[in-house]
Amino acid sequence: MGKPLMAKATAVWLVDNTMLTFKQIADFTGMHELEIQGIADGDVASGIIGSDPITNNQLDADEIKKGEADPLYKLKLKFNAAAVGEEKRRGPRYTPLSKRQDRPASIYWLVKFHPELTDGQISKLIGTTKPTIQAIRERTHWNINNIQPIDPVALGLCKQSELDQAVQKAAARKAAEGETISDDDRRKLLSTEQSLSMPAEPRLPSAIEGLENFTLGGDTVESEDAGDKDYSDADSFFNLPGDDDEDK
């Protein structure tokens, strides 16, 4: 069911001018029942002027009478032929003014850690423009040197479920196109729950030269490539062959 225009103003008018229950008004306007109670208590929408849905041709007076007579009755929005198909039109996500300055950091994070996402996906996730995304991808943004990557979920610009869904779509697109996915990219394409459930990757040093012989619990451990020299104590380990010749 569609929702009336100016839902909060309509709720204010219904609270002030009808005997409808909070739940009936909440269901009709698409708001929460506690918000309607807050309107009645004067804690919510205190500065909003009520909007008459009957005058605005969104609700019939008979519907209000039916609702007042039966608390379980659900109000029906008046059919408006001009509004057919409007719900399918979706513009860019609205970002509050207080968070718009955080969008470049979120774009940088998505570009860096999820390069498989398209510009269109990033634009829908955080409500930005494709030229801005392209400028950060190519590092031509005017403030690129001061931008630090920050997770958009942590900044409140999108939900974790929305990010996971976008990443999964990107994974499906890659698979359909026949692109090979590396192990690192495969881990990135997993959802948050799947990634957290995977065993931790071993963190080993890339180079272990000099560790051919080491002491473990008082016993000397030798690898296959180790020589015959015993490094069971610190002095013998750091005593290089050249040092003995110099002392002589």
- Look at residue 141 and tell me whether its pLDDT is greater than 80: yes
pLDDT the model gives residue 78: 82
What residues does 214 pair with on adjacent strands? 221
Q: What is the 3-state secondary structure (H, E, C) of the chain?
A: CCCCCCHHHHHHHHHHHCCCCHHHHHHHHCCCHHHHHHHHHCCCCCCCCCCCCCCCCCCCHHHHHHHHHCCCCCCCCCCCHHHCCHHHCCCCCCCCHHHHHHHHHHHHHHHHHCCCCCHHHHHHHHCCCHHHHHHHHCCCCCCHHHCCCCCHHHHCCCCHHHHHHHHHHHHHHHHHHCCCCCHHHHHHHCCHHHHHHCCCCCCCCCCCCCCCEEEECCEEEECCCCCCCCCCCHHHHHCCHHHHHHHC
For residue 213, what pLDDT is reported?
52
Digit-coded pLDDT (tens) for 158-202: 888 889 999 999 888 888 877 655 555 555 555 555 555 555 555
Q: pLDDT tens across 30-69, in order?
A: 889 998 998 888 888 778 888 899 888 888 899 999 999 9
**Percent of the chain, pLDDT > 70?**
63
Q: How far separated are the first and last CA of the chain, in Å rounded?
A: 97
Please tell me the predicted confidence (pLDDT) of residue 205: 47
The mean per-residue pLDDT over the stretch 221-243 comes to 53
The letter for the amino acid at 4 is P
**Calpha distance 180→211 (Å, rounded):** 37
Q: Locate tokens 């225009």: which residue?
A: 5
C-alpha to C-alpha distance for 206 and 208, rounded to whole angstroms: 7
| Residue 186, pLDDT score | 52
Tell me the average pLDDT across 76-95.
Answer: 60
pTM value?
0.41
Place of tokens 């610009």: 157
Which among 112, 106, 102 has a CA at the least distance from the CA of 162? Answer: 106
Average pLDDT in the chain:
76
